[in-house]
């Protein structure tokens, strides 16, 4: 509890400084803090602002907490596609995600491919996970990212959610090499990108936070996936797939 309050205090002080003075460069603060909540993040964006969405699959795990700490320090929201069977015992992590302005989505219940499933198995993977998440954070709309990005007509028909893929994939599961992942993303990223990471690896968490710092210096603004499409005036529709929101 104390840590949460301390973090909030630091964030609010940061916002206060950012909005009320031009002292930040003088104080040696490199990148201005970003607003933390969903509404504030959207309000703070100008037309033509470079936008990017960080997404994390396969959590929640212990390393997710390190990531949440780093994102909170930087005032950056992300989108988390969750594994349902990993949620029991980690409800506090989900509540924290929701409180800190992150967007939640469904990955599946057991990380099974969703293609070729019968109705019962599909609902057991997707709707069961939706119920588990909503039981923790309330009746929020949830995006879907199918494991392995595998989509077929059955997935589209039964998704009951927009299907979110990605445009930048550092394949962080391959060698778990922070420097390589950072370089890959910084080479590939552009305005409107959706970046894929897995918050189950400490190397990925470190890479993602380094990328936040680098892209802040480059004028990017971090938003959730729904904010990204909302800001680009592109409605997300159930059963449709989306990889990016390039201008
Ligand atoms: Ni996955």
Rounded CA separation 105/133 (Å) = 9
Spatial CB neighbours of 85, under 8 Å, sequence gap ≥ 6:
109, 110
Whether 102 is catalytic is no
Q: How many Å lie between the centroid of ligand 1 and the Cα of residue 52?
A: 20
Q: How many Å lie between the centroid of ligand 1 and the Cα of residue 147?
A: 5
| Cβ–Cβ under 8 Å, residues 151 and 145 | no
**Token pair 């019968």: residue:** 118
| Cβ–Cβ under 8 Å, residues 194 and 228 | yes
Q: Which residues of 60-76 are buried (b: 16+ CB within 10 A; e: fewer)?
A: bbebbbebbebbbebbb
179-184 long-range contacts, CB within 8 A, separation 24+: 181/207, 182/207, 182/210, 182/211, 182/214
Q: In a structure prediction context, what are the per-residue pLDDT tens digits for the chain, which is 247 residues long? A: 344 444 454 444 444 334 343 333 333 333 333 333 344 446 768 778 999 999 999 999 999 999 999 999 999 999 999 999 999 999 999 999 999 999 999 999 999 999 999 999 999 999 999 999 999 999 999 999 999 999 999 999 999 999 999 999 999 999 999 999 999 999 999 999 999 999 999 999 999 999 999 999 999 999 999 999 999 999 999 999 999 999 9
Whether 58 is catalytic is no
Rounded CA separation 101/78 (Å) = 8
Provide the token pair at 6. Answer: 């301390």
Report the SS3 class of residue 195.
Answer: strand
pLDDT of residue 48: 86
Kindly name the residue from 102, 184, 198, 244 that is annotated as catalytic: 198
Spatial CB neighbours of 91, under 8 Å, sequence gap ≥ 6:
136
pLDDT of residue 18: 41
pLDDT of residue 45: 82
């Amino acid at each position: 509890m104390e840590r949460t309050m301390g973090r909030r205090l630091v964030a609010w002080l940061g916002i206060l400084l950012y909005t009320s003075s031009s002292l930040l460069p003088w104080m040696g603060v490199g990148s201005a803090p970003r607003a933390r909540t969903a509404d504030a993040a959207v309000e703070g964006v100008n037309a033509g602002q470079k936008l990017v969405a960080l997404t994390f699959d396969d959590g929640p795990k212990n390393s997710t907490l390190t990531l949440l700490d780093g994102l909170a320090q930087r005032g950056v929201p992300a989108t988390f596609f969750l594994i349902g069977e990993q949620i029991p015992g980690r409800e506090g992590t989900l509540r924290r995600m929701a409180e800190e302005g992150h967007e939640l989505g469904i990955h599946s219940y057991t990380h099974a491919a969703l293609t070729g499933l019968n109705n019962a198995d599909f609902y057991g993977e997707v709707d069961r996970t939706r119920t588990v998440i909503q039981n923790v954070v309330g009746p929020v709309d949830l995006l879907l990212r199918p494991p392995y990005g595998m989509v077929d007509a059955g997935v589209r028909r039964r998704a009951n959610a927009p299907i979110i893929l990605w445009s930048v994939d550092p394949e962080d599961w391959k060698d778990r090499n922070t420097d390589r992942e950072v370089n890959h993303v910084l080479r590939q990223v552009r305005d409107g990108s959706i970046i894929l990471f897995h918050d189950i690896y400490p190397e990925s968490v470190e890479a993602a936070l380094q990328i936040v710092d680098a892209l802040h210096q480059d004028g990017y603004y971090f938003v959730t996936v729904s904010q990204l499409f909302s800001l680009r005036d592109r409605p997300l529709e159930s059963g449709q797939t989306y990889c990016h929101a390039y201008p």
